[in-house]
Amino acid sequence: MKHFEIVEAADVEREAEWRSYVQSTPRASMYHGLEWRDVLRRAFGHRSWYLMAQNNGKTRGVLPLVEMKSSLFGHFFVSLPFLDYGGIVADAPEYEAALATAAADLAAKREAHHIELRQSFAAAKGLEAGWKLRQHKAALVIPLNSDPGTHWSGLSSRLRGKIRKAEKSGATFSVGAAEELDDFYRVFGLNMRDLGTPVYGPALFQNVLQFAKDASVLIVRREGQPAAGAIALRRGERVELPWICSDYSQSSFSVNEYLYWNAIQWACRSGARELDLGRCSIDGGTFRFKLQWNPEVRPLFWYYWLASGNELPEFSANNPRYALAVRCWKRMPLALANRVGPWIVRNIP
């Protein structure tokens, strides 16, 4: 029988082991990196638990967990909140199962209501026992060619016409870093208010740009004003766009389409092999919009452990219980929404 133990990455030596394991494991996402622990702690103040499965001192699996407590939304653990991916990465099913058991034991000890694991792949059978699976989300990922023209010819004539319309209207595209963050956040805050969703505080993006290894800000301007934007993150030959926004008042000029097309061109020319357009709810409006760009649809595997007597959580704005709040939020003055939103959203994973 193999002997292994579960430990925390709570000191410098184990942090080095964590980094080494994540860098060498193909299934690990960029969000398994320890820098994201600092991003989430500084932006939201949540406590994290970074669990490692070790066999004879060698790391064989990892699980980052963030603990969230709120009088409004309850007490739970997520791997990882506010981000597209997380969950368990392990060398074999027995290590995966051990990490899942350790997480459940920790949640029970801390009297949490549930755990949510945002896996990009199916877990082994050992994890499925006692856990519930939901597949309501998917990642839309474009395999990139080095020649952007290949992608252009694959777009519908209607979509190409919208991109040309944006260009003729004076839309411009630029790539920057921290100096572009104010313009990005101006559009992001407006976009989130118009969706009826509380907005993250600017501290999240400030910390992303400070701690993430390769982050850029993509901006579309029209008539000198920001009209659409995205945060782009890179790991190796993969670029992700986890946060994308546009000003709905500029929709008639197709600024959102112009942003996506220029992001594809930029990623191609940078040598990336994949462009991840971010996760979205299957068959939703955003999902259908992203399908225009000919991505691969990669189902996501979200696993839940539930304490006795608890049901699957549903924090989506589509939940009928939040319908009145969403309608009210859409009517809120932007300055007030941007002030109150970060206090609320810090507890919505």
Look at the chain and count its residues. Answer: 349
Distance CA 60, CA 68 (A): 27
Residue 306: φ, ψ to 5°: -120, 130
The 8 Å CB, 24+ separation contacts for 16-23 are 17/52, 17/54, 17/59, 18/50, 18/52, 18/59, 18/62, 20/59, 21/52, 21/59, 21/62, 22/62, 22/89
**276, two tokens:** 């991840």
Counting Cα atoms < 13 Å in the Cβ hemisphere of 222 gives 24
Q: Tokens standing for 175?
A: 């790539």
| pLDDT band, very low/low/confident/very high, at 316 (cuts 50, 70, 90) | low
Region 23-34 average pLDDT: 95
pLDDT of amino acid 330: 92
E strands present in 247-311: 274-281, 296-299, 301-306
pLDDT score for 100: 95
- The DSSP element (H or E) to which 220 belongs, if any, is strand 215-222
Asked if 172 and 221 count as a contact pair (C-beta separation under 8 A), the reply is yes
Residue bearing tokens 């199916």: 122
pLDDT band at 213 (very low <50, low <70, confident <90, very high): confident
pTM above 0.85, yes or no: yes
